[in-house]
Amino acid sequence: MSEQSIESDVLAREIAIEQAHVDTVYAELDKARRRTADVEADGMARGRTDRVGDVRDEELTGLVERDALVYLAARRRHDLDRQFEGLVFGRLDLDHSGSEHPEQLRADSLEARYIGRLGVRDDDYEPLVIDWRAPAASAFYRATPVDPQGVIRRRVLRSSGDRVVGVEDDLMVPEAPQDLTVVGDGALMAALTRSRGAQMRDIVATIQRHQDEAIRAPARGVTEITGGPGTGKTVVALHRAAFLLYSERRRFETGGVLIVGPSPAYTAYIERVLPSLGEDSVVLRSIGDLVDGVTATRLDEPHVARIKGGNRIRTVLARVSQEPPPEGPTEFRSFVAGTPIRIGAAELGRIRDHARRNHQHNLGTAAARAGLAERAWEQHRQQVPASGLEERSEFLDKFHDSLEVDRFMRGWWPQLDPREPLLWLTDPEIMARCASGVLNRHDQEMLGASLRGALETGTWSVADVALIDDLFSRVGPIQIDEPEDRSFYEVEELDNLSDYGVQEVGARAAQGQGIRMTREHSGREPRDLLLHGTIERPRGYAHVLVDEAQDLSPMQWRMLGRRGRSASWTVVGDAAQSSWPDASEALRARHEAYGRGQRREFHMDTNYRNAREIFDYAAGVIRAEVPDADIPKAVRETGWPVREVTVDSGDLERSLTAEVRRLLDQVDGSVAIVPSAAHTPSAERLLPLSDRVVVVDPLSSKGLEYDAVAVVDPAAIAQESPGGIRALYVVLTRAAHRMTILRP
């Protein structure tokens, strides 16, 4: 039997063990639901009477008891219902003997302590799950190999509903008891220690000690974690987030923790590392959905992304935010108090500039209207003899009560969605005005074509999100007027909701869901899709964790800075993997986002994920063009060198199929195909080979890891990616055990 098959069987056995315990927990949860229903029924029975007339004291007491019991039962039922998903997420195996030689212990002598989103006890009042907020759960967040706090093994359980789908272990001691199974990265650490003797034990201890220092670093200020691929930067950062949430729970629960990754695929991948804490304190976002109301996964071509991400675009956005609405009126004409009022374009421009001097556009409506009224009053004074001149206050009242003024304001000073000014740049004339002296003709055309592409597809690009956020900071939140009371005869009867694009959704009380109304989005115009929803003011956070920080553009750093003005920061990155070409420009924006506060850095220099054969190959590629790249030392060997295959263009798909089949035979885990753009269709046709095969574009592969990887046309990947050879370096460091290179 192969090594991979043995590992797969071991994992399946461990999942089955945990599933048995989880089943017991959910059975107890069902009992708790039934008990809650009984309490609620008992409460409803209190205070009932067949009498009429005055209420007796004992009956009044029964009514109070009824309300209390029903209220408490409803709260308990709500808690039980909302904890269904991933209720149990952790396990601790604890040694209470204080032994200095844990490898000599027996696994059955350890206490198994399960951690979850709420506490659950059995009929004998023995704890089946300990609430993560309880003191008894603290070791799950605070234990490290340097300070294990009695923990031998820490296990994270990944679940889908009530089904355990995976486990991941952290080993807290140099050597575990022989009969204690360890899987995942914990197993890797244990294997490294056992297979290499004292020298490797020292290396592993050094890794763990340095990781521990980063995890426990003070919460205030900025903690930067750097290092090459496979050094565990992300895992350290996420454990740090969990540690901070537990050690300073009040601060971070109240303020919240924002975790930002480069792509949706990446954020889905890291969810398994940081278990759910049963609260809304952790927000996990990709850089493309950092703005509420906008989700973007489409990537611009490198040159366009460079235009949108750099400092020059700020001037363009500032100018376009000052533009009048393209379809708005260019002059104001009306009769007010019997006086003809005419305000031309130049005067309207001065009123607009004065109102915007001290107000964001959407917050400046009253100031603009007041400026318009003052100019109208001046004209009234100039045209009407003193004997017929109205009082200023009376004139202004009539002006503000005018329906014509209302109509003019709606066109001249509308409430602006920040996405609208960005779309105005699709007009070549507006683009020329706003980009004059900032972008050359070629850059203007490329930027305009990109935004027209968004209008055609109904999708924003990832780089557009930071532009929308910048424009929001300039125009402000949309102000919604309170609706006027409508008379009963003005309200339409909605006999057929489907005529209004609304579906009726029934109540699902069993799942604790209320009645909701949803609108159909199908059939909308692309522009409507781009403007769907409302952009809200960004939330501030107490802590911001940024992974793959080296890829962020200056505009994206400013977007993060608006969410972390009062935050502490944990920032993870590796300059050698950067896809942003101007490091100094991004660094200035990064430091502006940080604000003031102490800075500390932790450098990880040991690659224990990639096999040495794979990493040495990748290091040779990056050193050829980036000689000062941060190259960690790989400590694990497989004996399998990187396989290089040269194929004819017309024969590529057949050769790729054969190589993927070879990798599927060699590993039991995931096999990723990372192709250049031209070969993506061929790669995607191989997905039916196995559910273990995935196709990942080069930029989305960042931060991910696979058992085996087939890289298709590395030269083209470097040429078409924003980071060039750095992007290829990322691709070449995704494989843990096997890698094949196909060159057309």
Same domain flag for 83 and 144: yes
- 302 closest CA partner among 549, 582, 546: 582
Same domain flag for 470 and 591: no
Residue 509 located in a structural domain = no
CA torsion through residues 348, 353, 359, 362, sign: positive
Residue 257 located in a structural domain = yes
Same domain flag for 39 and 188: yes
| CA gap 714, 79 in Å, rounded | 52
Same domain flag for 575 and 697: no
Structure tokens at 579: 């896809």
| 301-321: b (≥16 Cβ within 10 Å) or e | ebebbbbbbbbebbebbebbb
The pLDDT assigned to 427 comes to: 96
The pLDDT assigned to 694 comes to: 94
Q: Which residues of the chain have pLDDT under 50?
A: 1, 55, 60, 69, 80, 192-204, 276-279, 482-522
Q: How far is CA 500 from CA 243, 269, 489, 496, 616, in A?
A: 50, 40, 20, 8, 62
CB 607 within 8 A of CB 635: yes
Question: Is pTM, for the whole model, over 0.85?
Answer: no
CA torsion through residues 352, 355, 361, 366, sign: negative
The pLDDT assigned to 124 comes to: 85
Structure tokens at 536: 């809200």
Long-range CB contacts (< 8 A, 24+ apart) of 292-295? 292/535, 292/536, 292/538, 292/539, 293/532, 293/533, 293/534, 293/535, 293/536, 294/419, 294/460, 294/464, 294/465, 294/468, 294/533, 294/535
Same domain flag for 600 and 655: no
- Look at residues 373, 399, 425 and tell me which one is the last residue of a structural domain: 399
Residue 278 located in a structural domain = yes
Phi, psi of 502 (to 5 degrees): -115, 135
Count H helices and E strands in the chain, helices first. 25, 23
- 396 closest CA partner among 409, 410, 377, 412: 377
| CA gap 318, 364 in Å, rounded | 16
Same domain flag for 29 and 173: yes
Which ranges constitute the DSSP H helices of 149-232? 185-215
Same domain flag for 467 and 560: no
- Look at residues 486, 504, 537 and tell me which one is the last residue of a structural domain: 537
Q: How far is CA 557 from CA 311, 422, 457, in A?
A: 11, 19, 27
Same domain flag for 184 and 246: no
- Number of structural domains in the chain: 5
| Residue-range definition of the domain harbouring residue 306 | 297-325+416-478+523-537
- Look at residues 210, 234, 269 and tell me which one is the last residue of a structural domain: 210
The pLDDT assigned to 368 comes to: 94
662: CATH? 3.40.50.300
The enclosing H or E element of 419 equals helix 419-424
CB 233 within 8 A of CB 226: yes
Same domain flag for 83 and 159: yes
Structure tokens at 356: 């915007």
The enclosing H or E element of 666 equals helix 652-666
| CA gap 6, 668 in Å, rounded | 10
Residue 490 located in a structural domain = no
Residue 508 located in a structural domain = no
| CA gap 719, 727 in Å, rounded | 9
Q: Tens digits of per-residue pLDDT, 590-600?
A: 999 998 889 99
Residue 595 located in a structural domain = yes
| CA gap 715, 719 in Å, rounded | 6
Same domain flag for 351 and 333: yes
Structure tokens at 89: 């997420």
The pLDDT assigned to 438 comes to: 96
What is the full DSSP assignment across 295-313?
---B---HHHHHHHHSTHH
Which amino acid is residue 177, in one-letter code? P
Structure tokens at 173: 């001691």
Same domain flag for 368 and 386: yes
Residue 501 located in a structural domain = no
Same domain flag for 227 and 102: no
Residue 75 located in a structural domain = yes
